């Protein structure tokens, strides 16, 4: 167990996009710093976010265009103005006919301003950033530039020379798209600069940043395009099998994610170099990391690509022990959390426990199925992370309004028939449990219903859009939450 996780702590789950602000979605600006202050004042020492990668059009942070790159949509434009690199009030010919606030265009303008007025130190920092990140940044910048040229088509739909990464074609593209590529690299420089400044601010106030690593990457990504040998693809680069999970609590037909599976045989030959680099990037950004769908490191559900649902697949073994051993050998004792929800076997638990990784406990899963339910708090051990619910669950208020009477009565009896509301009792149960880390979604602190749900698994519309307003965080709610954090010795 890593020392960061071997201590009684409280955390809050809330993604960057859910921050308030005057732009289309939350970003790394002043509201992020205000949120750190709220956590600090509440005695909370962990802020958990969703993945920070550059999303596709559906906005899902679990289907990104790169396993390394940050999402430029999270960049704080006001911060670029304060540096003197950007004047938003100036007219922009490229933005004519588009919405008034076009962040990509504004960042491109900021790059021009950066070249004109940035200090020598900042320019040297940018050069050094590009050099240090070249192992993923060069391919990513070219990938995004060409994706723009080809109208956002997936790389397997590009002309053959670019799809197959023919050297002459790529050299020509790099020359022709040099300015766009430089702007894309600048976007990443700004993102990492702003994120690391936020991380420093949080750490100085005793707040750790807790990130999330999707076990699989998107097929339409720079990673797959540039590293086809890492993935199970045929000679033409197409997928014959895709990732997902069989039918479970969330979906009667399972979830067909559509990601490519790993070619573990190739990865073992390379000592898992691609995975080690990926983990290294994330460790730079976060203090604690969760491996989403951890059970896929022991065995993953392979679905024939021709199947429309996840029902007709099979479990295929993965070398999780060898992978985690290689990561530990290269990067040390990483503070990892295993997302071990769903169909969990003895082999998965053994892999988790061999590396002393905390698993997850969800209180919304605890009631109605009898005393052996592993999500009931009397089964917890210290080395775990408890949640009232996650980004994939309904809010706890929403859940309490939809559960059947049997499950409700079980919950009320188990919790001692509290005089407070059931959702408040569940927050107290999480914070009062023996779990080292208790994470409460921001929606639950704000007592919000199903309208504030972040994601509904198996659906692609209406997700990832929830945002909160500071007016929802009343003094009474903030004070009560801080009191509970202190009451249960999690400050």
**In the 8-state DSSP scheme, what is residue 152?**
T
Q: How far apart are CA 28 and CA 78, in angstroms?
A: 10
Is there a catalytic annotation at residue 287?
A: no
Structure tokens at 214: 């999707």
Instruction: Please state, in angstroms and as integers, the Cα–Cα distance from residue 448 to each residue in 120, 292, 305, 398, 472, following that order.
Output: 48, 25, 39, 8, 9
Is there a catalytic annotation at residue 263?
A: no
- Residue among 284, 302, 307, 392 flagged as catalytic: 392
Backbone φ, ψ for residue 9 (5° rounding): -140, 160
Q: How far apart are CA 146 and CA 76, in angstroms?
A: 25
Q: Exposed/middle/buried for 332, CB within 10 Å: 0-12, 13-18, 19+?
A: exposed
Instruction: Please state, in angstroms and as integers, the Cα–Cα distance from residue 264 to each residue in 165, 237, 269, 433, 469, following that order.
Output: 23, 17, 9, 38, 45
- Residue among 183, 212, 292, 444 flagged as catalytic: 292
Q: How far apart are CA 146 and CA 246, in angstroms?
A: 36
Residues 6 or more apart in contact with residue 104 via CB below 8 angstroms: 72, 187
Instruction: Please state, in angstroms and as integers, the Cα–Cα distance from residue 400 to each residue in 1, 298, 318, 403, 437, following that order.
Output: 34, 34, 38, 6, 23
> Would the CA dihedral through 414, 417, 418, 421 be positive or negative?
positive
Q: Give the residue among 106, 87, 84 at the shortest CA–CA distance from 95.
A: 106
Q: How far apart are CA 454 and CA 25, in angstroms?
A: 14
Q: How far apart are CA 11 and CA 430, in angstroms?
A: 11
Taking the alpha carbons at both ends of the chain, their separation in whole angstroms is 20
- Residue among 76, 139, 339, 340 flagged as catalytic: 339
Report the 10 Å Cβ neighbour count for 25: 18
Is there a catalytic annotation at residue 392?
A: yes
Active site residues: 292, 339, 392
């Amino acid at each position: 167990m890593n020392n960061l996780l071997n201590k009684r702590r409280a955390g809050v789950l809330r993604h960057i996009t859910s921050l308030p602000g005057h732009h289309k979605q939350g970003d790394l600006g002043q509201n992020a710093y205000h949120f750190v202050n709220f956590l600090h004042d509440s005695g909370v020492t962990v802020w958990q976010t969703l993945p920070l990668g550059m999303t596709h059009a559906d906005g899902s942070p679990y289907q990104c265009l790169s396993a390394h790159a940050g999402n430029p949509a999270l960049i704080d434009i006001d911060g670029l103005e304060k540096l003197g690199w950007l004047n938003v009030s100036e007219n922009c010919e490229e933005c004519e006919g588009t919405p008034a606030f076009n962040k990509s265009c504004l960042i491109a303008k900021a790059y021009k301003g950066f070249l004109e007025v940035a200090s020598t130190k900042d320019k040297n920092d940018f050069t050094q950033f590009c050099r240090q990140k070249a192992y993923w940044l060069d391919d990513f910048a070219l990938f995004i530039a060409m994706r723009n040229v080809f109208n956002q088509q997936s790389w397997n739909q590009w002309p053959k020379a670019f799809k197959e990464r023919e050297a002459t074609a790529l050299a020509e593209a790099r020359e022709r798209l040099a300015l766009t590529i430089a702007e894309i690299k600048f976007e990443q420089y700004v993102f990492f600069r702003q994120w690391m400044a936020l991380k420093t601010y949080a750490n100085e106030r005793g707040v750790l940043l807790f990130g999330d690593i999707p076990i699989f990457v998107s097929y339409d990504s720079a990673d797959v395009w540039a590293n086809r040998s890492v993935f199970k693809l045929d000679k033409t680069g197409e997928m014959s099998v895709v990732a997902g999970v069989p039918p479970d609590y969330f979906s009667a037909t399972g979830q067909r994610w559509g990601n490519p599976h790993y070619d573990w045989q190739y990865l073992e030959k390379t000592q898992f170099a691609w995975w080690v680099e990926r983990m290294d990037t994330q460790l730079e950004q976060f203090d604690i990391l969760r491996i989403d769908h951890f059970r896929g490191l022991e065995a993953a559900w392979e679905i024939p690509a021709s199947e429309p649902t996840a029902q007709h697949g099979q479990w295929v073994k993965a070398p999780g022990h060898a992978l985690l051993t290689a990561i530990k050998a290269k990067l040390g004792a990483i503070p990892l959390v295993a997302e071990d929800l769903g169909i969990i076997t003895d082999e998965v638990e053994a892999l988790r426990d061999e590396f002393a990784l905390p698993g997850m406990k969800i209180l919304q899963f605890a009631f109605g199925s009898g005393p052996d339910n592993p999500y009931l708090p009397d089964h917890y051990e210290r080395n775990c992370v408890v949640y009232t619910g996650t980004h994939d669950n309904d809010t706890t208020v929403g859940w309490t309004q939809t559960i059947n009477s049997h499950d409700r009565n079980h919950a009320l009896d188990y919790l001692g028939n509290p005089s407070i509301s059931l959702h408040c009792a569940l927050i107290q149960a999480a914070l009062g449990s023996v779990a080292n880390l208790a994470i409460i979604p921001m929606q639950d602190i704000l007592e919000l219903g199903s309208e504030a749900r972040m994601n509904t698994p198996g659906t692609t519309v209406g997700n990832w859009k929830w945002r909160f307003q500071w007016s929802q965080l009343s003094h009474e709610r903030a004070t009560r939450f801080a009191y509970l954090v202190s009451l249960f010795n999690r400050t």
